[in-house]
Structure 1
Amino acid sequence: MRIFTVPIILVLLLLVITAKAQVQTDGSQGNSIYTAVPFLLITPDARAGSMGNAGVAVAGDVNSSSINVAKLANLKEQYGFGLSYTPWLKSLAPDINLGYLSGYYKLDDRNTIAASLRYFSLGNVQLLDENRQDLGSFKPNEIAVDASFVRSFGDEFALGSTLRFIYSNLGSSQVSGGKEYAAAKAVAVDVAGIYRSPMNLFNTDATLSIGANISNIGTKVSYSTGASHFLPGNLKLGAATTFNFDDNSDFTFALDFNKLLVPTQPNYDTDGNITSGKDPDRSVPSGIFGSFSDAPGGFTEELKEVGLSTGIEYTYNKQFALRAGYQYQSPTKGNARYFTVGAGFKYDVLNLDLSYLIADAQTSPLANTLRFSLLFNFGSASKISESK
C-alpha cells in the first residue's frame, strides 16, 4: 500500500471531487456540492481575476476563451495568443500552480477559431509504503485542451462553442484505502453568447453588454472502479457597461452571477436514507436541470448557491488600466469572499495584466494570490474583409 507524506496532497487526491461544506458558528453545516476537476473553475485570466472574477460581458481579449469565448468575435486584431500563470493555494503548498495558454485566429469578419490549454500542477508528492519506505515521488497534474469556434451575427451579437478534453492524473496506479486510483478522462462542451449595443447613458457615450456562458457540460469522470463524479458544470450570466467619457478615458462596471449545474447533496439519517433533498446519483442531464430545485433547504438554499462577482475597470488612453472587484459566495456554499485589485499595461502588440487577491490569510487559503497574463495581438481584422 502506498501513502502520501503531504497531507494537503492526500486531501486533493481523495477529496478533490468535493466542494467542502462550510460549518457555521452555531454548529450547523451547509450541504456540499460535489464535483471532479475543480481546477476548471479557477479563473486563469489576470484581468478578470482583478475584477472579482467578473468578465462574462466585459470587452474581449485573447483570454476570452477562459470565461466567454464568444467575446473573441469583437476583437479588432486578426490573431493573437496569450500566456497566464497563477501560483495557487501557496499558503498551503508552495508548488501548486495553474498555467494557461490561449490563441485565436479570425478567418474572416464573421468567423473566428481559437484553442487553449490549461495545465494544473499539484506539485511534487513524496510516496511512502506502509512501513514508511521511500517509493519515490509523484507529480499529480490535470490538463484541459480546448478547441473553439465563434461566429458573429452582425456587430451586436455573437455565439461561440468549445469542445474540451480533460485529463486528471491525481494518483495514477496508486493505492489508498484498498482502492487503486487511475487517471480520469472526460469530454465536455461550452456554449457562450455575447450581446453588445452602443447607447447614450447620462449624456455619455456608452456600450451595454450582456453575456452568458454554460461550461463543462460533459461526461462523468472516475478515478476508481464503481465511482463516477460530475464535472463542474457551470452557468455564468453577466452584464457590463462601459462609459466613454472622452477619447482617453473609459470606465467599465461589470456584474456576474454564477451557478453550479451539479446536484446538491441531500440530508441523510443515521441509516443512510435521504430525509430531504434528492438522490445525487443520477444522469448528467437530470443533474443539470435538477440543480435548480434539489437543495434540501428549498428555494432559499438554491439562492445561496448563486455566487456574485462584481468589478470595475478604468482605462486611460487605451494603454493603462486600473481594476478592482469583489467575489461573494454564501458561507454555506463555498464561502469564497474576497476583494481583488489589479492593473494592466498595453504597448504596441503587447498587453501585460496583473491581479492580487486580498483576503484574511488566517481564514482563506486564497489570500495573496497573484495572477499574471501576457497577451499579444497582431494584424488588423479590417484587412481581412479588404483582402477578399
Structure 2
Amino acid sequence: MIFLTQQSCNFAAVKFRFVLFFLLSCSRLFSQTIGGNSVFNFLNLPNTPQLTALGGINVSANSNDVGMAFYSPALLNKSMHTQINLVFNDFYAGVETYHMNFGYHNPKLNTNFSYGIHFFDYGNLAQTDAAGNTFGEFRASDWVMQVSASHSYKEKWNLGTTLKFISSNYGQYKANGLAADISLLYKDTAKLFSASVLIRNAGFQLKEYPGARGGDLPFDLQAGITQRLKNAPFSFSLTAHHLHVFDISYNDTLFNNANDFENSSEGFSFDKLFQHIVLATTIHIDKKVEATFGYNHLRRKELNIGKEGNGLNGFSIGFAVLLNKIQIRFARANYQNNTAYNQLGLNLKLNEYFGLGKLGKQAGW
C-alpha cells in the first residue's frame, strides 16, 4: 500500500514537471510583443472586482469566485457549479464595461466548465476624414468571448485551459483573433498554500485592421503564490508577470526630458525587477466579510506624472460580503492622481434560486 502511494506521488511529480516544461516551452513559442505595441490590449484589464482589488494580476488566490476563473482557468473548481459572475461598470470617459462568467461542474467527466464574455462599449464617436471634417458617427467596441475547462489531479493539482475569440470594432476598422490560456494550480488546503503558473493570450489575429499590418497579442507568462496564515485572518499573495522578458519599462527619452520624467537606465536594476511584481493581502474579517489591498508597481511607474506627488497610483482596495446564495464585491483601483476606477460585481448561485425539474436533474443542476 505504501509502495502504491509513493508510486502515485512520483507519477504526479513527473506529470507536473512535464506540464511545467510544456508551459515554459509555449512561452518561447508565443513570445509576443509587450509595452503597448500589441493589439487587443483590453484583454489586460481586470474583469472582476476581486481581481481588481488584488492589483489587477493574480493567479493563485484560490477563492469561490468564478470571475477569477475567467482570468486563470486553473482557478475554476466544482464549488463554482451554477455560479454566475456579473459586473456592470462605467469606466473612464463614459466607457461602459460588462462582464459575465458562468461555471458548471460535470460529475460524469469530473470536469469543470465555464463560459464568459467581457464587453467594452466606447459609445458613439465622430467619424472624420484626414482633414478633420466630420461626416457622421460610428460606434466602437471591443469584446472577448471564451470557454474554459479545468480538471483536478491527485486532489492538489488543477489544470485549466481557455479558448477565446477576440473582436474589435471601430466603425469600418474591424479585427478579430483567437487566443488560448493554460494554467496549472497547486493547492495544499492543510497548509493553506497555493501556487500557480499561467500562460495568457497565446494566439494570433484572424482578421487584421484594414490598412494595418498584423499585430501581436498581449502575451504574458505569470506565476504566483498565496499563503493564508493559520492563526491570523490574513492571506498574502505575490504574483510575477512578464517572466519571459526582463525589461518591460517604456522609455521615450524625448518625452521624458520634456515632462521631467526619469529615463530608464540600461541593464539590471531593482526597480525593473520590481516592475514584474504585484503584491496583495486579504483580511478575512469574518467568514462572510473580506477586505483586500493590492499594489501594482508597473502601473504606478507607467502612470506617475514626473516627480510630482502621485498619491495612490498603483494601489487598489476591495471589499466583499459573502453570503450563502450571493457574493457582493466592490473594488477601487487608483490609476492616476485623483483618478480612480470603481468596480461592482455580483456572484449568484443560480441553482439556489430556481430549479429545472427533471431536465435539471439529468443535467446535474
Q: Scaled by the length of structure 2, what TM-score is found?
A: 0.72
Counterpart Cα distance in 2 of 1:122 and 1:260: 32
Residues 77, 360 of structure 1: CA spacing in aligned structure 2 closer, same or farther, 3 A cutoff? closer
Cα distance in 1 between the residues matched to 2:286 and 2:129:
60
Could you say which residue in structure 2 is the equivalent of 1:213? 198
CA distance in 1 between partners of 2:314 and 2:234 (Å): 22
Distance 1:260 1:334, change over 3 A: farther
SS of the equivalent of 2:209 reads: strand
1:190-248 superposed Cα distances (whole Å, 9 cap, x missing partner): 0011100134xxxxxx4110012111100146213351110101112100012244xxx
Inter-CA distance 266–252: structure 2 relative to 1 (3 Å threshold): closer
> Whole-Å Cα distance in 2 between the matches of residues 96 and 134 of structure 1?
21
AA aligned opposite 1:104: G
For 1:156-171, list aligned pairs within 5 A. 156-170=156-170
2: CA distance between counterparts of 1:68 and 1:131?
A: 45
The CA distance in 1 between the partners of 2:135 and 2:220, in whole Å, is 39
Task: Decide which moves more: 323-332 or 62-71.
Answer: 323-332
CA distance in 1, matches of 2:271, 2:181: 23
Which residue in 2 is equivalent to 1:198?
189
Give aligned-pair identity as a percent. 19
In the TM superposition, residue 299 of structure 1 has moved relative to its aligned partner by 5.6
Partner of 2:111: 111
Amino acid at match of 1:68: S
SS in structure 2 at match of 1:231: coil
The residue that corresponds to 2:229 in the other structure is: 243
**Is 1:328 aligned to residue 328 of structure 2?**
no
In structure 1, distance between residues paired with 2:276 and 2:248: 15
2:335 and 2:203 map into 1 onto residues whose CA distance is 33
Preserved contact between residue 77 and residue 378 of structure 1 (Cα < 8 Å) = no
The CA distance in 1 between the partners of 2:197 and 2:36, in whole Å, is: 22
Separation in structure 1 between the aligned mates of residue 233 and residue 155 of structure 2, nearest angstrom: 20
Task: Pick one of 363, 376, 379 that aligns with 2:348.
Answer: 376
Partner of 2:214, secondary structure, is: strand
Q: In structure 2, what is the equivalent of residue 101 of structure 1? A: 100
Matched, 1:71 2:75: yes
Q: Contact 2:197–2:224 at 8 Å: present in 1 too?
A: yes
CA distance in 1, matches of 2:123, 2:315: 27
CA shift digits 1:306-350 (9 cap, x unpaired): 522111112244211111111111877676951111100122210
Alignment of 1:1-388 (within 5 A): 32-60=35-63, 61-73=65-77, 75-88=78-91, 90=92, 93=93, 95-108=94-107, 110-129=110-129, 134-170=134-170, 172-173=171-172, 182-199=173-190, 206-220=191-205, 222-225=208-211, 227-245=213-231, 250-259=233-242, 297=266, 303-304=272-273, 306-329=275-298, 337-358=313-334, 360-361=336-337, 367-378=339-350
The Cα of 1:188 is off from its aligned counterpart by: 0.7
Give the superposition deviation at 1:125.
0.5
* Equivalent residue pairs, number: 300
Query: Any gaps of 5 or more consecutive residues in structure 1?
Result: 1-17, 20-31, 174-181, 200-205, 268-294
Q: Is the 8 A contact 1:67 1:213 kept in 2?
A: no
SS in 2 for 1:76: helix
Q: Which residues of structure 2 form unaligned runs of 5+?
A: 1-32, 252-263, 305-311, 353-360
Q: Distance in 1 between matches of 2:242 and 2:281?
A: 22
Distance 2:327 2:197 in 1: 25
Quote how far apart the aligned CAs of 1:69 are: 1.2
Kindly tell me: are residues 137 and 301 of structure 1, through their superposed partners in 2, closer, same or farther at Cα, counting changes over 3 Å?
Answer: farther
Contact 1:43-1:49 at 8 Å conserved across structures: yes
Name the CA distance, whole Å, in 2 between partners of 1:163 and 1:358: 31
Q: CA deviation at 1:77?
A: 4.6
8 Å contact from structure 1 (residues 113, 150) kept in 2: yes
User: Which structure has the highest strand share of the two?
Assistant: 1
Per the normalisation by structure 1, the TM-score is 0.68
Shift of 1:37: 0.8
SS at match of 1:124: strand
Cα distance in 1 for partners of 2:279, 2:248 equals 25
SS of structure 1 residue aligned to 2:287: coil
Aligned-partner residue type, residue 150 of structure 1: S
Aligned partners of 1:330 and 1:349: how far apart in 2? 35
Distance in structure 2 (CA, Å) of the matches to 1:68 and 1:132? 43
User: Cα–Cα, structure 1 residues 330 and 305, in superposed 2: closer, same or farther, change >3 Å?
Assistant: farther
Determine which structure has the larger helix proportion and give its number. Answer: 2
**Cα 1:130/1:217, change in 2 over 3 Å:** closer
Q: Which whole-Å deviations, capped at 9, do the CAs of 1:275-313 have from their partners, x for residues lacking one?
A: xxxxxxxxxxxxxxxxxxxx9945659955952211111
Q: Which amino acid aligns with 1:308?
A: I
The runs of 4+ residues in structure 1 deviating greater than 3 Å are 128-134, 260-267, 295-306, 330-337
